[in-house]
């Protein structure tokens, strides 16, 4: 599939289309060893060899970034004055069109997937595809088995919202922490679930998306690109 050179380079996030055109005018862009004279020329990004200022340009149709979201950051692409998850992405990884594939509350921490692949994001967020998200929840008091079984059976909230059954397990060696897996992403879902059984959440961290765990080497606020193999651990679409 042929794509415009200026659009493709600008999509990487490091250059604007205006900057690409300026580099072309200066003779700083080569495609397959030939100097480019028109920024809007069409090329096959999968096969073309591109040099920008003498440096190879590695084409990626989409990017997938694992971020360890800290508390106090908004899960959005932009949010006025508040810091967003996209703001935490370093320039070397940032691209136009990045967004969080699924949101975490401002006070929730852990695994956020950032991508510019809208179709993939839609598929992993759709409940019908049953892509589980795993959370570590710290509760107010030690949960009793009856309340956990209510969550496992599928809860109906006071407003009539019906939730699919959740997988809930106690964390050995702790009194108030549980691991919970859900494949939905309704508004404040986990907090509302535990509030409904009389045991409010005091802290919440997402640890997995699908079978992919948050990289323990990432400090809060840090991120890295994930490999194709890791992406398939989230969902093999």
Domains and CATH numbers, the chain: 3-56 (3.10.290.10), 64-126+214-234 (3.30.70.580), 132-209 (3.30.70.1560)
**Cα–Cα distance between 62 and 206 in angstroms, integer?**
23
Residue 14 has pLDDT above 80, yes or no: no
Q: Is 107 a catalytic residue?
A: no
Question: Which of the four pLDDT bands, split at 50, 70 and 90, describes residue 29?
Answer: very high
Q: Which of 135, 138, 139, 136 is nearest to 199 (CA)?
A: 139
Give the per-residue pLDDT at 187. Answer: 87
H-only helix segments in the chain: 5-11, 17-25, 118-125, 145-153, 189-196, 228-234
What are 221's two structure tokens? 């606020």
The answer for residues whose C-beta is within 8 angstroms of residue 179's C-beta and 6 or more apart is 134, 135, 136, 137, 168, 169, 170, 171, 207
Lowest mean pLDDT among 7-21, 46-60, 145-159, 220-234: 7-21
Q: Which of the residues 40, 44, 105, 159 is marked catalytic?
A: 105
166 close to 151: Cβ distance less than 8 angstroms: yes
Residue 237 has pLDDT above 80, yes or no: no
Q: Is the dihedral of CA 76, 122, 218, 106 positive or negative?
A: positive
Highest mean pLDDT among 29-43, 179-193, 200-214: 200-214
Residue 2 has pLDDT above 80, yes or no: yes
């Amino acid at each position: 599939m042929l794509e415009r050179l200026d659009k493709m380079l600008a999509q990487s996030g490091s250059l604007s289309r205006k900057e690409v055109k300026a580099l072309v005018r200066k003779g700083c862009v080569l495609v397959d060893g030939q100097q480019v004279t028109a920024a809007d020329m069409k090329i096959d990004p999968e096969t073309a060899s591109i040099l920008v200022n003498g440096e190879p340009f590695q084409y990626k149709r989409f990017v997938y970034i694992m971020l360890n979201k800290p508390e106090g950051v908004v899960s959005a692409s932009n949010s006025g004055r508040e810091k967003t998850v996209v703001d935490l992405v370093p320039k070397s990884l940032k691209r136009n069109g990045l967004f969080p594939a699924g949101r975490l509350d401002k006070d929730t921490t852990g695994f956020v997937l950032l991508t510019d692949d809208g179709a993939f994001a839609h598929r992993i967020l759709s409940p019908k595809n049953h892509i589980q998200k795993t959370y570590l929840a710290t509760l107010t008091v030690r949960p009793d088995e009856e309340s956990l079984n209510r969550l496992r059976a599928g809860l109906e909230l006071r407003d009539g919202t019906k939730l699919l059954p959740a997988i809930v397990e106690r964390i050995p060696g702790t009194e108030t922490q549980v691991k919970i897996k859900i494949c939905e992403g309704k508004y404040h879902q986990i907090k509302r679930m535990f509030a409904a059984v009389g045991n409010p959440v005091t802290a919440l961290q997402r640890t997995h998306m699908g079978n992919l765990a948050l990289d323990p080497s990432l400090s809060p606020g840090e991120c890295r690109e994930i490999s194709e193999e890791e992406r398939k651990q989230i969902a093999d679409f």
